[in-house]
């Protein structure tokens, strides 16, 4: 259970807290330099818009839902401040990478099952990194 708690702690630190800190610093930098037409882009995931069927991925999805909420909240704050700075999150679909293999390092078969349970695009590998810009 200690490994599970550490993994969740790291997911929150990277996917939520680091994003919030970087966003704050980016906005402050823009204000200090009188930039009124900047664009803050957060990298999200489709897991931040739909709960995945795989129970092992629910906590990851929760952190990505937080990215969706933080980006939308920022967008609303920027509009209220009457600034032209924009906030967007990009939500790529599933791409077969080392992510699941690292996430399930104690069980490579379980890692492979992550991709088997989700339809991975059958297009060539070099094309799998294509993502669609989705405003949150």
Residues designated as active site: 60
Write the DSSP string, the chain.
Answer: -HHHHHHHHHHHIIIIIIHHHHHHHHHHHHHHTT--S-EEEEE--GGGTS--S-GGGHHHHHHHHHHHHHHHHHHHHHHHTT---EEEEE------SSHHHHHTTT-HHHHHHHHHHS----S-GGGTT---EE--
């Amino acid at each position: 259970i200690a490994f599970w708690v550490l993994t969740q702690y790291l997911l929150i630190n990277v996917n939520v807290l680091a994003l919030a800190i970087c966003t704050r610093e980016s906005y402050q930098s823009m204000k200090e330099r009188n930039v009124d037409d900047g664009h803050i882009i957060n990298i999200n995931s489709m897991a931040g818009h739909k709960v995945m069927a795989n129970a092992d991925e629910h906590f990851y999805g929760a952190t990505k839902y937080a990215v969706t909420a933080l980006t939308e909240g920022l967008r609303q704050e920027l509009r209220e401040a009457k600034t032209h700075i924009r906030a967007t999150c990009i939500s790529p679909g599933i791409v077969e990478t080392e992510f699941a293999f690292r996430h399930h390092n104690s069980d490579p078969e379980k890692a492979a099952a992550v991709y088997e349970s989700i339809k991975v695009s059958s297009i060539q590998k070099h094309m799998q990194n294509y993502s669609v810009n989705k405003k949150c």
